[in-house]
Chain A
Amino acid sequence: MGLDFTVLPKFIDQLLLGSMWTVAITVSAAVLSFFGGIFLAVVVLYAPKLVSLPFRVFSWLFMGTPLLLQLFLIYFGLIELGVDLPAFVAGVIGLGLHFAVYNSDIIQAGIKAVDTGQYEGARTLGLSKLQTLRKVVVPQAVRAVVPPIGNNMIALLKDSALVSVIGVTELTLSSQLAISKTFRPFEFYLAAAACYYVINLGLEAGLRRIERRIQTAR
């Protein structure tokens, strides 16, 4: 028996719906990981040691354990504590926090790379420490690290396949469901891979546009 791609059209709606869920999860988690990353970076670098300690511990835990396990803990584990999150929300929180930790590392490096003259320029105008961070330092740091953060977002898109294990019918789970009805794994996994690839192309195009837009403003 050879490959038979004629089974695909019947399930095309299902795959497209799965793709939409993948995009929805990726975008939501990306936004959470971006702003979460900025927040973590600023707290770790500037908050008093005692305030930043829980956030440092949180970072170590999220960097040192598998994302898959984190998703299980957030979705199944929290139920025991009486927190019953919808699978989509649990997936977004898991992915978002996991990548926030990675983004935070990159943004910290970006903040440290901002020239001291920028602080002096802002402080001599009378801006407070917090105003200087918010309006001068962080915006520059984030612009400088858009390329590596973009790479993280591409990794996030691909890792979003993991939320299939907590029952979000995104692209990977959609293709698995199709396979369970047709027993055609190769065809559907290939089709899913093609969908991921196309979504990725869109994401990369978006990232390139952002990079071009901030080029003069650096």
Chain B
Amino acid sequence: MSKPFVDIRHAAKKFGELEVLHDISMQIGKGEIVAIIGPSGSGKSTLLRAINDLDPLSSGEVWLEDMQVNKALPPRQYEKHINQVRQDIGMVFQHFNLFPHLTVRGNITLAPKMLKGISDAEANALAEEQLKRVGLLERIDYYPSQLSGGQKQRVAIARALAMKPKVMLFDEATSALDPELVEEVNQVMKQLAEEHMTMIIVTHEMGFAESVCDRVVFMDGGYVVEEGPPEVLFRNPSHERTRNFLRKHLQGQS
């Protein structure tokens, strides 16, 4: 692999006595799409949330290109630094976290207007462009409460994309959705994959991970147990724990 785009070096995290991440290192290349799977409590969400320093690490480093994300700085400088870095790291949450008091347009234009100093007209054009990407242009003046779960998540993706991020993080983006709404969100993510967006995806959906991702990472108990291309990890896993997890999971799904 060429120079890593996202570089996690010896990431460790403790909550008091409890170690939720044990010395994890991981490199992700530009345009690569990585799925992180594992049982709940395995630390996969914690690792993902460490990438934009939403859950700060106890030790270790996270780099995005030539910039250390979790730089140790005095509070004021850190605040400036992290707000700058986070503009390059889009994140999509399980529960969407749309702003309910703003319309779809307001949700998408808020951050670009405040942080990039663009005009209302430019912001509107940006919102329309991103909504077209997720197929929801006709909902631009709706409030989140007027949308279905799948639509909310697509708007949340459009909101993140409007910042023109270098990498997108997905934290169980489809876990809170009714089964019939999952596909429309998966479609949008597939489309991003085809556009070679760098993506790190925490997911429970093995089928999606297998069809879209370049690499799958299996975590358990705060360790990376094994990783590899999806066809290897899903068809022929080398660790007992991976086999157990996949067996249980596939039973649950059928």
Binding site for B on A (CB under 8 A): 115, 117-118, 120-129, 131, 135-136, 139-140, 143, 214, 216-218
Known: A126-B87, A131-B114. A121 touches B54 (CB 8 A): no
Are A117 and B93 CB-contacts (below 8 A) given A125-B159, A127-B115, A218-B100? yes
Instruction: List which B85-110 residues lie within 8 A (CB) of chain A.
Output: 86-87, 89-91, 93, 95-102, 110
Question: Are B54 and A135 interface neighbours, CB within 8 A?
Answer: no
CB nearest to B112 among chain A residues: A125
Report how far A214 CA is from B102 CA in the complex, Å.
10
Q: Nearest-CB distance from B70 to chain A (Å)?
A: 14
A128, B83: Cβ atoms closer than 8 Å: yes
Q: B86 and A125: CB pair below 8 A?
A: yes
Chain A residue nearest to B90 in the complex (CB): A124
Residues of B within 8 A of A121 (CB): 93, 96-99, 156
CA distance A135 to B115 in the complex (A): 13
Q: A127-B111, A217-B102 are in contact. List 18 more A-B contacts (CB 8 A).
A: A118-B99, A120-B54, A121-B96, A122-B111, A124-B86, A124-B91, A125-B86, A125-B110, A125-B111, A126-B86, A126-B111, A126-B163, A127-B83, A127-B114, A136-B110, A139-B101, A140-B99, A214-B101
On whether the beta carbons of B89 and A124 are closer than 8 Å, the reply is yes
Question: B170: shortest Cβ distance to chain A, in Å?
Answer: 12
Q: Specify which chain A residues have a CB less than 8 angstroms from the CB of B97 in the assembled complex.
A: 115, 117-118, 120-121
Q: List 7 A-B contacts (CB under 8 A).
A: A124-B86, A126-B86, A126-B111, A127-B83, A127-B111, A135-B110, A140-B100
Which residues of chain A are near B86, meaning CB under 8 Å?
123-126
The 8 closest A-B pairs by CB, nearest first: A121-B97, A126-B87, A125-B111, A117-B97, A124-B91, A126-B86, A216-B143, A217-B101
Given contacts A143-B101, A217-B101, A126 and B93 within 8 Å (CB-CB) = no
Q: Which residue of B lies closest to A218 (CB)?
A: B100
In the bound complex, what is the Cα–Cα distance between A127 and B82 (angstroms)?
10
Cα distance A17–B136 in the bound complex, in angstroms: 55
Give Cα distance in the complex from A128 to B78, angstroms. Answer: 11
Verify if B146 is at the interface (C-beta below 8 Å from A).
yes
Please tell me the size bucket of the interface on B. 20 to 34
B157 within 8 A of A: no
Q: Which residues of B contact A217 (CB under 8 A)?
A: 100-102, 143, 145
Decide if B160 is an interface residue (CB 8 Å cutoff).
yes
Q: Which of chain A's residues have a CB closer than 8 A to the CB of B100?
A: 140, 217-218
- The interface residues of chain A lying within 8 Å CB-to-CB of B54 are 120, 123-124
CB distance from B236 to the nearest CB of A (A): 36
User: Does any Cβ of A come within 8 Å of B52's Cβ?
Assistant: yes
Contact indicator B145/A218 (Cβ below 8 Å): yes
Taken residue by residue from 36 to 65, chain B's Cβ proximity to chain A (1 for < 8 Å, 0 otherwise) reads as 000000000000000010100000000000
Residues on B with beta carbons closer than 8 Å to the beta carbon of A128: 79, 83
A134 nearest in chain B by CB position? B114
**Are A216 and B145 also in contact (CB < 8 A) when A124-B91, A127-B83, A131-B114 are?**
yes
Kindly report which residue of chain A lies nearest to residue B79, judged by CB atoms.
Answer: A128
Given A121-B93, A124-B52, A128-B83, also A140-B163 (CB < 8 A): no
Q: How far is the CB of B111 from chain A (nearest CB, A)?
A: 4
**At the interface, yes or no: B84 with Cβ under 8 Å from chain A?**
yes
A125 and B145 contacting across the interface, CB-CB below 8 Å: no
Asked if B101 and A140 sit within 8 Å, CB to CB, the answer is yes
A126 and B115 contacting across the interface, CB-CB below 8 Å: yes
> Which A residues touch B95, using CB under 8 A?
117
> How far, in Å, is A105 (CB) from chain B's closest CB?
22
**Is the CB–CB distance between A125 and B99 below 8 Å?**
no
Smallest beta-carbon distance A133→chain B, Å: 13
Cα distance A218–B144 in the bound complex, in angstroms: 8
Least distance between A218 CB and chain B CB atoms (Å):
5
> A121 to B54, alpha carbons, bound, how many Å?
10
Closest to B100 in A: A218
Contacts of B52 in A (CB 8 A): 124
